[in-house]
Amino acid sequence: MTDYDYIIVGAGAAGCVLANRLSANKGTRVLLLEAGGSDRSPWIQVPIGYGRTFNDPRYNWMYEAQPDPGLNNRAGFWPRGKVLGGSSSINAMVYVRGQPADFNDWAAAGNPGWSWPEVLPYFKKLEDHPWGASEYHGAGGPVGISDVSGSVHPLCHTFLRACEELGIPQTRDFNGAQPEGAGLWQVTIKDGVRVSSARAYLRPASGRANLEVQTHALATRILFSGTRATGVEYLRGGSARQARAAAEVLVCGGSINSPQLLELSGLGNPRILGQFGIRVVADLPAVGEGLQDHLAVSYFYRSRVPTLNNQLGPFLGKARAALRYAFNRTGPLAMSVNQAGAFVRSRPGLAAPNLHIYFNPASYSTTTLGSRRRLLQPDPFAGYLMSFNTCRPTSRGSTHIRSGDPQAAPCIAPISLATAADVQDVFEGARLVRKIAAAGPLAAVTENEREPGLKVMSEDDVLADFRARAGTVFHASGTCAMGADPRTAVLDARLRVRGVTGLRVVDASAFPNVTSGNTNAPTMMLAEKAADLILQDSGGIQA
């Protein structure tokens, strides 16, 4: 057994941050375990390559949820990163913090230190923002962020004008003074290359003698002496190994794998653990509960003007895009296809936006949904899509082990559309998307709504269509939440697992509620703050 100070399980969006910050002290020994392999593939580094890694088991856990009663008992596809960088290596690279109210709600749930004014410095700390340092942004941080407003498809500006006609204000910066309205996304892309957590944090630290990274290492159990976490057991190269942590074990497996590892280690609901003969170390009924996610549906439109379909559909278009990227790292391959969107309040009386709108100047209505969807094969005609989801869904599901075998996929039960509020947002989201499409600027360039089409107009039909076609946008959160109530929260406000010592969970599973938008940025922020909490508790200097 090898000794370290800290063992980090999972080299994803959060784990890479911790590996960098904790190993900055040369006297601290850090082991980082990752079940997947290298992130050096061009399909990861080239931004639009996420259309391939979306369904590539070399980089993706390729999970499938349980049949969901709220979605006509369909079993949804749940991709999760299984590679250095985790899901930050296979996501769509949209950089959105969320609404300030999201984090004020975290603090109100019994988590002092997590309000918007208290987390903003950590967002700024991680950023290398193209607009430089300001009240809202940081410069010189590890995560390169790009403003692609000069490179987006022209149809994105048509979308913005349509929103403006409806009274939806334009915002230059979703991460600044005006996080509400319609605008263009900032992205974690730098010089035409994806900026994953692995590239931003792990690569600069990889030469440190006190940081050891082991890939293809699947953690199978947290080791305990009584109720103190002392190390990790893991599989690598076909053999079981153990490593000891003198200070702490830090679980960063994400919202699906972190609760799985806790349960395999005896932390969870005794009823569930008992089904598989797992000895209870700590009675924690909230492990695996509280699962939240953003559930979206796309409306597809045929366009009278060229879209990205015209550039990326034909073979010659693909070849031209590849050559442009190869020579100067620009063009459609250097960008995400998610280029514009909005955060909107769909009715009066709301304290914060309830709908997240995505505008994509490409369409994929003829490709298959789920794990067989081909994002690099757009429709063979000019088209675009708009999607919507509830910013803060109130439905909650769960994820639990289905056996004592650590190599068995967990049981993911999303429990979608379980509340009247979430159903109401389906109606309002569909109405809003159609209003934007019907506004003068977009109406002038739109031939027709191809899917779901004008046959789907009544509330009953809109809901039925949503149940038939909606799917996750991969923002799973909340399954090891921090909070004050041990019945609903696994962690305290310092991300320490209740009932034991020497153990924290640091990833999106710790979110008390899912943020209003993409979750990569808030996950890295959480890990930056966690590094300071860990160092404070050890008596060390903040990173």
Q: Is 117 in contact with 107 (CB distance < 8 Å)?
A: no
Q: Is 275 in contact with 264 (CB distance < 8 Å)?
A: no
Among residues 153, 294, 356, 475, the one annotated as catalytic is: 475
Q: Is 287 in contact with 479 (CB distance < 8 Å)?
A: yes
Residue type, 435: K
Q: Is 53 in contact with 60 (CB distance < 8 Å)?
A: yes
The total of other beta-carbon atoms located within 10 Å of residue 458's CB is: 10
Q: Is 249 in contact with 9 (CB distance < 8 Å)?
A: yes
Residue type, 35: A
Packed helices 154-165 and 420-438: angle between N→C axes, nearest 10 degrees: 110
Category of 47 on φ-ψ map: left (φ > 0), alpha (ψ -120 to 50) or beta:
alpha
Q: For the stretch 52-74, what's the b/e string if a residue is b when 16 or more beta carbons lie within 10 angstroms of its beta carbon? A: bbbbbeebbbbbebbebebbeeb
Q: What is the C-alpha to C-alpha distance for residues 287 and 427, in angstroms, rounded to an integer?
A: 33
Q: Is 490 in contact with 481 (CB distance < 8 Å)?
A: yes
Print the SS3 string covering 362-409: CCCCCCCCHHHCCCCCCCCCCEEEEEEEECCCCCCEEEECCCCCCCCC
Q: Is 102 in contact with 71 (CB distance < 8 Å)?
A: no
Q: Is 474 in contact with 89 (CB distance < 8 Å)?
A: no
Q: Which residue has the tokens 């690569």?
A: 203
Length, in residues, of the chain: 543
Chain centroid, CA 311 distance in Å: 28
Q: Six-digit token pair at 33? A: 């375990």
Residue 368, burial from CB neighbour count under 10 angstroms (0-12, 13-18, 19+): exposed
Q: For the stretch 479-500, what's the b/e string if a residue is b when 16 or more beta carbons lie within 10 angstroms of its beta carbon? A: bbbbbeeeebbbbbbbbbbbeb
Specify whether 153 is catalytic: no
Bridge partners of 31?
7, 212
Catalytic residues: 475
